[in-house]
Amino acid sequence: MENEIRVMLRTIYGRLWELLSLYEETECFNRVPKGADEDDIWDYMGNKLLEIRKEVNQSFLGEKLLREKLLRIVDETEVFVRSYEQPGVVERWRKINPQIIFFDYAFDIREQCPEEYRKAMAGMSGYELALYPYEALAEKRKKYFAELGEKIEKGNLKYSEERIFMDELLRTLTMVFEEDFKEYWADGSYTTDR
């Protein structure tokens, strides 16, 4: 039974991975991918998420705890798909992969518009940021992107900004599955390069 569960978990993981990997192709989930039968991205993504929910419910009927964990991940994925912001992930995903916050526009505001950033911190800007990065965190971000830029340059990868973010998002999804279902991969057979 444990092997069957592993296979089903990997199947659901694969379906979510495929969905999130459309980020770059769909221009941040703003247009349907090439060859899609639907014209509206909102409907397209909603239908894909519904198919995944159906598969979770069918595959894990009788496995309430696993089903609930998987449906939570699908719900969290939907929050991202529908949020139209970067990183747009739920707090739990931010905790599992703190590097995902390096894509938050708060860092750019802090760096490029310091006066606006100070106003936002003081609650005087009319908008609230998801986070207010401090100096040490801003330095970690610079190091992260410098190392990533070096890797991209050495590999002649020519990644778009969307691709760079999508890769970190997919890494986060993998980490979420590893966190939530570690008892099924205690032997290390389901790990990512980090």
Question: Residue 3 pLDDT more than 60?
Answer: yes
In a domain, 190, yes or no: no
User: Where does the pLDDT of residue 1 fall: very low under 50, low under 70, confident under 90, or very high at 90 and above?
Assistant: confident
In a domain, 30, yes or no: yes
Question: Residue 135 pLDDT more than 70?
Answer: yes
- Mean pLDDT in residue range 82-100: 93
Euclidean distance between CA atoms 156 and 9, whole angstroms:
34
**What average pLDDT does the chain have?**
93
- Mean pLDDT in residue range 160-165: 94
Euclidean distance between CA atoms 146 and 118, whole angstroms:
26
Question: Residue 69 pLDDT more than 70?
Answer: yes
Question: Residue 193 pLDDT more than 70?
Answer: no
- Mean pLDDT in residue range 169-175: 97
In a domain, 159, yes or no: yes
- Mean pLDDT in residue range 71-93: 94
Question: Residue 192 pLDDT more than 80?
Answer: no
Euclidean distance between CA atoms 41 and 30, whole angstroms:
6
Distance of CA 134 to the CA centre of its chain: 23
Distance of CA 183 to the CA centre of its chain: 22
- Residues with Cβ within 8 Å of residue 98, at least 6 apart in sequence: none
Question: How does pLDDT run across 18-66, given as a tens digit for each residue?
Answer: 999 999 999 999 999 999 999 999 999 999 999 999 999 999 999 999 9
Q: Which domain holds residue 174?
A: 2-184
In a domain, 194, yes or no: no
In a domain, 72, yes or no: yes
Q: What is the pLDDT of residue 188?
A: 52
Number of domains in the chain: 1
Separate counts of helices (H) and strands (E) for the chain: 8, 0
Cβ-contact 162, 27 below 8 angstroms:
yes
Say which DSSP state 131 is in.
Answer: -
In a domain, 191, yes or no: no
In a domain, 42, yes or no: yes
In a domain, 146, yes or no: yes
Q: What is the pLDDT of residue 127?
A: 87
